[in-house]
Amino acid sequence: MRKLRMGMVGGGQGAFIGGVHRMAAAIDGQIELVCGAFSSNPERSKNSGKELFLPEDRVYGSFEEMILKEKELPADKRMDFISIVTPNHVHFPPAKLALENGFHVICDKPMTYNLEEAYALKKIVESSGQIFALTHNYTGYPMVKQAKAMIAAGDIGKVRKIVVEYPQGWLSTFLEGTDQKQAAWRTDPSRSGIGGSLGDIGTHAENLAEYITGLKITQMCADVGIVVPGRQLDDDTNILLKFENGARGILSCSQISAGEENGLNIRIYGEKAGLYWLQMEPNTLVVKHLDKPTEIIRTGVGALYPEAQAHTRIPAGHPEGYLEAFANIYRNFAKCVQARLEGKEVDPMYNDFPTVDDGVRGMEFIYHAIASGKTEQKWYTM
């Protein structure tokens, strides 16, 4: 076995999520950043590569150049996979090119700029046989794994109600009117696609709910709102949901919930108990019982399901956070790539990360929510 070699697309100076991906990839010592096309501006790409201690000849001016040149490098030197951390409109092109040239791909969400790209990418992934992971990072938290395992084991009985919310407040003002880079592209339809809060955080909420419960949303009734004057994309969306087993639900994603940080949270009520998880206190899973005291399940404490244990690095009481959850996506993806390199089967415990199917699902969610928001019909079938 050896360290895997990663090439990065995007994430140059001034970006946010690129640094997160690099830290998440680095933390477990299984992945080495060996090259990158960090910016569409070659100068910025070079400078970024230098800061990251990369040799000049592995810092490229474009993802096309990187993919094609790396392909020519000897097998013991060239990158194994690319990490795509660009704005949404630059997800599909590098993913396609990489997959078609024999590289695995790990990609930020939402998966593509539009739904057509999503369907196309699914076909490319399947025909290429390469491994594709999508960083719906919140599913990497140990207590999310615990919740999923509990529900699968029937611990709370049949699921009846799901409330998932992702409130943020950072777009309460017309921030895109300033020089804030994050706000600029995330509210710009030419770079984000048709979803604003829906794409940026709504897909996380949708993915979290379906991942934990194992239930698909079948119908939705969306109130898609643009609250801040002048904004082009939705910034506050509230949706009534129906799930395949008949459970009902509420999904809310908002970027104008003044004063909220990243308050992603989910409540799942079953016949026998309710679960509550809040991303901002991620090492706690609250189990509310019908007739006995509420239990506080904590990362690393007592008898957890193996899925929770397998995604924990440090002992109880030492908080693991966002980066460690993110790193779990990378770690599992890396284990699958490693297994592929060694011609082995991966331990099913680690064959657990969001795939191209989750990506398609997320894009469908955005499109159907926007469509539901436009119709006067109550229930829109997803």
Residues 15-54 that bind its own copies (CB under 8 A): 16, 19-20, 22-23, 26-29, 33, 52-53
Task: Give the residue, chosen from 214, 245, 379, 381, that forms a contact with its own copies under the rule CB under 8 A.
Answer: 379
Site for its own copies in 110-139 (CB under 8 A): none
372 in Cβ contact with 152 (< 8 Å): no
Count the residues in the chain: 382
CB 143 within 8 A of CB 284: yes
Options 62, 101, 238, 309; binder of its own copies; rule CB under 8 A:
238
Nearest distance, CB of residue 356 and its own copies, angstroms: 25
Other beta carbons within 10 angstroms of residue 136's beta carbon come to 24
Work out how close the CB of 316 gets to its own copies at its nearest, in angstroms, rounded to a whole number. 5
Which residues inside 242-271 make contact with its own copies, applying CB under 8 A? 248-250, 252, 254, 256-263, 267, 269-271
CA 172/CA 102 separation, integer angstroms: 43
The least CB distance from residue 165 to its own copies, in Å, is 8
290 residue type, one letter: L
Please, which residues bridge with residue 33 across strands? 6
Window contacting its own copies (CB under 8 A); options: 1-9, 70-78, 85-93, 207-215 = 1-9
Q: Which of residues 51-70 bind its own copies (CB under 8 A)?
A: 52-53
What part of residues 301-340 is at the interface with its own copies (CB under 8 A)?
A: 301-303, 313-324
- Residue 227 binds its own copies, judged by CB under 8 A: yes
Count of residues touching its own copies (by CB under 8 A): 89
> 62: which residues sit within 8 A by CB, 6+ positions away?
37, 40, 42
Query: Which residues are CB-neighbours of 101 under 8 A, at least 6 positions away?
Result: 67, 68, 71
Q: Is 288 in the site for its own copies (CB under 8 A)?
A: yes
> Which phi and psi (to 5°) does residue 277 adopt?
-140, 135
Q: What are phi and psi of 117, to 5 degrees?
A: -60, -35
Helix (H, G, I), strand (E, B) or coil at 6: strand
CA–CA distance, 231 with 27 (Å, rounded to integer): 38
Cα separation, 312 vs 275, whole angstroms? 20
CB of 302 to its own copies, least distance (A): 5
Which of 108-116, 200-208, 285-293, 351-359 is the region at the interface with its own copies (rule: CB under 8 A)?
285-293
**One of 293, 343, 344, 348 touching its own copies (CB under 8 A):** 293
Binding to its own copies (CB under 8 A) within 160-179 occurs at: 160-161, 163, 167-169, 172-173
Locate 250 and state its tokens: 């509420």
Identity of the residue, 284 or 351, whose beta carbon is nearer to its own copies in the bound complex = 284
